[in-house]
Amino acid sequence: MDASEFRRRGKEMVDYVADYMEGIEGRQVYPDVEPGYLRPLIPTTAPQEPDTFEDIINDVEKIIMPGAASPACTELETVMMDWLGKMLQLPEAFLAGNAGEGGGVIQGSASEATLVALLAARTKVTRRLQAASPGLTQATIMEKLVAYSSDQAHSSVERAGLIGGVKLKAIPSDGKFAMRASALQEALERDKAAGLIPFFVVATLGTTSCCSFDNLLEVGPICIKEDVWLHIDAAYAGSAFICPEFRPLLNGVEFADSFNFNPHKWLLVNFDCSAMWVKKRTDLTGAFKLDPVYLKHSHQDSGLITDYRHWQLPLGRRFRSLKMWFVFRMYGIKGLQAYIRKHVQLSHEFESLVQQDPRFEICAEVTLGLVCFRLKGSNKLTEALLERINNAKKIHLVPCHLRDKFVLRFAICSRTVESAHVQLAWEHIRGLATELLKAEKE
Amino acid sequence: MDASEFRRRGKEMVDYVADYMEGIEGRQVYPDVEPGYLRPLIPTTAPQEPDTFEDIINDVEKIIMPGAASPACTELETVMMDWLGKMLQLPEAFLAGNAGEGGGVIQGSASEATLVALLAARTKVTRRLQAASPGLTQATIMEKLVAYSSDQAHSSVERAGLIGGVKLKAIPSDGKFAMRASALQEALERDKAAGLIPFFVVATLGTTSCCSFDNLLEVGPICIKEDVWLHIDAAYAGSAFICPEFRPLLNGVEFADSFNFNPHKWLLVNFDCSAMWVKKRTDLTGAFKLDPVYLKHSHQDSGLITDYRHWQLPLGRRFRSLKMWFVFRMYGIKGLQAYIRKHVQLSHEFESLVQQDPRFEICAEVTLGLVCFRLKGSNKLTEALLERINNAKKIHLVPCHLRDKFVLRFAICSRTVESAHVQLAWEHIRGLATELLKAEKE
């Protein structure tokens, strides 16, 4: 949607809201629909080609408004998470469908998803151990619980461990910054021998620093064998898996208990919208369920409905699935795939520009929209370049450390980015590098 | 703002956004402002009288846009939380000011605020005990930690205990559904004698069931004496404290470590916006702080800026303080006070209608916008009435249990509610009660 269509549609929406407010007394306080009403009204998958805006807005009045905030908010979320799960070719077990044991939920951020998964895993292992040895206290168990992630995992994983009150150990990644079987197995054996209890592994697909991928096909079977909860954090990279050519990066997801990525990062859905799936919804609800009278309702034991308040940390919820519904329909799957592909192509364009300049080096494999690069030589040199880049305020780069190297990260992430912007940014960086190297020589 | 002004202003905003998108390449990537730039540009308190919409929108361009998303998002939040804290006459220690140790943060929900407070208290007591006895493990301590709240506290308090891995004990409330000194002190003594470690008390101002108020002036000094973190959950009632006549309900807040209420509940700010203050920001940041390279920035040790990511569970944040800024200025403090007073007046109007009908009884003191009432006689009778009310779908009531009584809750909460709506609702309820009682006799 370009700016001129945005003006038109935006103003129509303002009128829609105003009309709603003016006519609100004519609407029913409580909806007539029954739980489960929404799914049959909506296709089972996202459209390949874009729908028109008229079609979408007509469906809001026809499908959403009769379901009011509840149950429409919950039911659209379940169906949209199924749509998205199918776009990613997630295993059937992660989908809610009509009677599945799994399903998806929108969280606010990947940090929350990791924490929710860790807490659910903590409850599950605690109950299992207490069932086997009824005398065990929760504290005795918690003292021995260990969670694992790669040394490249996001800091929010460490934070989840802190909050959950359990140890978190970093598994040394390999030369391509990936967690592999041998390092994980070694840590598990050492900890079990020391009387500790491994219970949770976070595998990262697309690390923050360099977009590296843990080896799911190696890590997954270990988690199955050891009866350890496997959570996959694909916060950034997950969006790319809607393209068949990137889907192999997700192979091994079938070994996971929970999977999460952020459509708000790279799938054109505005912040916040973090998509999380679990294979067994009772693992989440078992950890968080409390049912006071003022939150009871007549349908809660019917199996027809989903009480998302048991799937998350906050109690209140927003109608975030509307954003997904609009975006998926306005772009169509093909439009979203084209968007991802364009970004990946632009990052390879930047990569090849860097490679053509012998003063620079690429520091990690470029798979998606992130290029890690640096000036050859000391870290001080690249640090000085970053200072010049960020002081010039024409582009903004965020650095990282890869082992002992200080590295710049060039990320393709704007909705409107074009090749011209990439070229301009590179010319700018090159120019500043030339100035810097000249100044260094003097 | 009525619907016709909403149409006009809404469309202006659509154009503003479209203009921004069309002109984005002319804007700077990185702001020129220095940390701390915003506070001097904004009054130190919210206006008494409404500002015009033009004034506000002009300030967006003048004050917010030069500060981009960062630091404007953080700095406006700190200043708005100070504005709101002053509206509530919070003790100075809770305000950030220019160099305060305390300050406010916007959370997503009261559940999150309670959990964040509990986790911070858990870290604080663990560190204190470990400093005194370095051999103590975290698990040994956690096993003994006990949190307390009234038996009327919201279920999210119990949930915070579950997530935090600590015991939570319910203190029996008194005849007015309030937590009092004697019951709390008794529980503390009993638990300490059993070798447990009390560390956290949640006092509720305006309980969910019946809007009762824990006795802060009694509970507060006990928490001080016992060195226990006191968190106040005023999720619903907090908004009323902007009126001097309701502010005495908050007396004793000076004893608390943290205080929270939801402007999204009753202060005209759209969901979500849950306002939380702490006296010592280091209590929060101490519990959650992790600093990977990709989140470092040059100002983080300057003391000038606030890193809200250490104040909350998620990492990402939205620019929610803009909603507060618009609402506080569009209504002015007087307009917001008038709004609260109107709702309280309408609930008293409903209360007096109920009192005039001898078939009904009021079940708890009406202080703010909630009226708890029931048909005299068996619970079955009121349950049957509720079924008729909710089946009729003209109004929607949510019930609760007060001790052994099943009670209906009439809540005044719509922005546009008038006396006529209250009258209509009561006539409707009365009519259904008459039908019910007649059917019961037959």
CA angle B253, B256, B260 (to 5 degrees): 75
More confident residue, B70 or B320: B320
Average pLDDT over residues B412-426: 96
- Is residue B212 a contact partner of residue B177, using CB atoms and an 8 Å limit? yes
Is some CB atom of chain B closer than 8 A to the CB atom of A233? no
Is some CB atom of chain A closer than 8 A to the CB atom of B137? yes
* Residues B410, B242: Cα–Cα separation, whole Å: 23
- pLDDT at residue A295 above 60? yes
Average pLDDT over residues B51-67: 94
Record: contact A6-B14, CB cut-off 8 A: yes
- Is residue B272 a contact partner of residue B298, using CB atoms and an 8 Å limit? no
Length of chain A as a residue count:
442
CA angle B289, B292, B293 (to 5 degrees): 140
Does an H or E element contain A72, and which?
helix A72-87
Q: Where are the alpha helices (DSSP H) in B88-233?
A: 110-132, 138-144, 155-164, 181-193, 216-226
Find chain A residues with C-beta within 8 A of B142's C-beta: 139, 142, 165
- Is residue B113 a contact partner of residue B276, using CB atoms and an 8 Å limit? yes
CB atoms inside a 10 Å sphere around CB A437:
15
CA-based nearest residue in chain A for residue B126: A165
Cis bond before residue A358 (omega within 30° of 0):
no
Q: Which two tokens stand for residue B305?
A: 């800026």
Query: Shortest CA distance to B18 belongs to which of A5, A196, A90?
Result: A5
- pLDDT at residue A257 above 50? yes
Does an H or E element contain B86, and which?
helix B72-87
Confidence of residue A300 (pLDDT cuts 50, 70, 90): low
Q: Where are the alpha helices (DSSP H) in A174-253?
A: 181-193, 216-226
Find chain B residues with C-beta within 8 A of A401's C-beta: 293
- Is residue B198 a contact partner of residue B209, using CB atoms and an 8 Å limit? no
The per-residue DSSP string of A97-156 comes to TTT-S-EEEEES-HHHHHHHHHHHHHHHHHHHHHHH-TT--HHHHHHHEEEEEETTS-HH
Record: contact B17-A10, CB cut-off 8 A: yes
Amino acid A301: pLDDT = 46
Average pLDDT over residues B75-79: 96
pLDDT in tens, A88-137: 999 999 999 988 899 999 999 999 999 999 999 999 999 999 999 999 98
- Is residue A213 a contact partner of residue A51, using CB atoms and an 8 Å limit? no
Query: Shortest CA distance to B94 belongs to which of B281, B336, B327?
Result: B281
Record: contact A294-B111, CB cut-off 8 A: no
* Residues A205, A88: Cα–Cα separation, whole Å: 14
Cis bond before residue A272 (omega within 30° of 0):
yes
Amino acid B290: pLDDT = 63
Is some CB atom of chain A closer than 8 A to the CB atom of B11? yes
Q: Where are the alpha helices (DSSP H) in A238-378?
A: 263-266, 281-288, 321-355
Record: contact B155-A287, CB cut-off 8 A: no
Give CA separation, A342 vs A150, A234, A415, B313, in Å: 30, 20, 10, 34
Q: Which amino acid is at B321?
A: S
B298 Cβ contact partners less than 8 Å away, ≥ 6 residues apart: none
Nearest CB among B115, B142, B393 relative to A165 is that of B142
Q: Which amino acid is at A431?
A: G
Handedness of CA B348, B354, B356, B358 (dihedral sign): negative
Beta strand pairing call for B398-402 and B405-411: antiparallel
Amino acid A32: pLDDT = 87
Give CA separation, A213 vs A113, A159, A222, A344, in Å: 19, 21, 17, 16
Is some CB atom of chain A closer than 8 A to the CB atom of B68? no
Find chain B residues with C-beta within 8 A of A155's C-beta: 290-292, 295
Query: Shortest CA distance to B105 belongs to which of B311, B291, B300, B267?
Result: B311
Nearest CB among B7, B115, B393 relative to A30 is that of B393
List the beta bridge partners of residue B405: B402
Record: contact A18-B10, CB cut-off 8 A: yes
Nearest CB among A18, A209, A314 relative to B3 is that of A18
Nearest CB among A14, A109, A290 relative to B315 is that of A109
Nearest CB among A21, A29, A137 relative to B393 is that of A29
Average pLDDT over residues B300-313: 73
DSSP-based three-state secondary structure for A209: coil
Record: contact A400-B318, CB cut-off 8 A: no
Amino acid A132: pLDDT = 95
Average pLDDT over residues B270-292: 86
A174 Cβ contact partners less than 8 Å away, ≥ 6 residues apart: A180, A183
CA-based nearest residue in chain A for residue B3: A18
pLDDT in tens, B196-228: 999 999 999 999 999 999 999 999 999 999 999
* Residues A347, A342: Cα–Cα separation, whole Å: 9
- pLDDT at residue A296 above 70? no
B209 Cβ contact partners less than 8 Å away, ≥ 6 residues apart: A294, B152, B177, B372, B400, B401, B402, B407, B409
Amino acid A70: pLDDT = 83
Confidence of residue B248 (pLDDT cuts 50, 70, 90): very high
Q: Which two tokens stand for residue A402?
A: 């890869």
* Residues A306, A234: Cα–Cα separation, whole Å: 25
- Is residue B206 a contact partner of residue B213, using CB atoms and an 8 Å limit? yes
Q: Which two tokens stand for residue A339?
A: 């968007």
Amino acid B301: pLDDT = 46
Amino acid A69: pLDDT = 80
Q: Which two tokens stand for residue A344?
A: 């990946």
Beta strand pairing call for B274-278 and A145-150: unpaired
Q: Which amino acid is at A81?
A: M
Confidence of residue B285 (pLDDT cuts 50, 70, 90): confident
Q: Which amino acid is at B140?
A: T
pLDDT in tens, B358-398: 999 999 999 999 999 999 999 999 999 999 999 999 999 99
* Residues B191, B145: Cα–Cα separation, whole Å: 10
pLDDT in tens, B125-175: 999 999 999 999 888 899 999 999 999 999 999 999 999 999 999 999 999
Phi, psi of B374 (to 5 degrees): -160, 165
Average pLDDT, chain A: 94
Find chain B residues with C-beta within 8 A of A272's C-beta: 314, 316, 318
Is some CB atom of chain B closer than 8 A to the CB atom of A393? yes
Query: Shortest CA distance to B235 belongs to which of B270, B278, B206, B195?
Result: B206
Amino acid B414: pLDDT = 93
Find chain A residues with C-beta within 8 A of B379's C-beta: none
Nearest CB among A156, A394, A416 relative to B29 is that of A394
Record: contact A18-B29, CB cut-off 8 A: no
Cis bond before residue B272 (omega within 30° of 0):
yes
DSSP-based three-state secondary structure for B344: helix
- The angle that helices B3-22 and A3-22 make with each other, rounded to 10 degrees, is 160
Average pLDDT, chain B: 94
Is some CB atom of chain A closer than 8 A to the CB atom of B263? no
Record: contact B18-A7, CB cut-off 8 A: yes
Q: Which two tokens stand for residue A11?
A: 């103003």
Amino acid B30: pLDDT = 85
Sheet architecture: strand order including A145-150: A103-107, A274-278, A258-261, A229-233, A197-204, A145-150, A167-171
CA distance B311 to chain A (A): 12
Amino acid B394: pLDDT = 92
- Is residue A262 a contact partner of residue A235, using CB atoms and an 8 Å limit? yes
Amino acid B299: pLDDT = 59
* Residues A277, A296: Cα–Cα separation, whole Å: 25
Average pLDDT over residues A244-264: 98
* Residues B266, B170: Cα–Cα separation, whole Å: 27
DSSP-based three-state secondary structure for B179: coil
Length of chain B as a residue count:
442
**Biggest alpha carbon distance in chain B?**
79
pLDDT in tens, A259-282: 999 999 999 999 999 999 999 999
Query: Shortest CA distance to B241 belongs to which of B101, B363, B87?
Result: B87
Average pLDDT over residues B318-335: 97
Average pLDDT over residues B39-44: 96
* Residues B193, A343: Cα–Cα separation, whole Å: 64
Nearest CB among A4, A122, A139 relative to B139 is that of A139
Record: contact B165-A142, CB cut-off 8 A: yes
pLDDT in tens, A366-380: 999 999 999 999 999
CA A191 remoteness from chain centre: 30
pLDDT in tens, A29-81: 888 898 899 999 999 999 999 999 999 999 999 999 998 888 999 999 999 99
* Residues A110, A432: Cα–Cα separation, whole Å: 35
Amino acid A233: pLDDT = 98
Find chain B residues with C-beta within 8 A of A293's C-beta: 399-401
CA-based nearest residue in chain B for residue A313: B112
Amino acid B298: pLDDT = 60
Beta strand pairing call for A258-261 and B405-411: unpaired
Q: Where are the alpha helices (DSSP H) in A314-442?
A: 321-355, 379-392, 419-441
Find chain B residues with C-beta within 8 A of A33's C-beta: none
DSSP-based three-state secondary structure for B228: coil
- Is residue A400 a contact partner of residue B293, using CB atoms and an 8 Å limit? yes
Matching residue, tokens 């790319």: A240
Amino acid B99: pLDDT = 81
CA distance B14 to chain A (A): 6
Amino acid A171: pLDDT = 98
Least confident of A7-16, A192-201, B299-308: B299-308
- pLDDT at residue A360 above 60? yes
Amino acid A285: pLDDT = 85
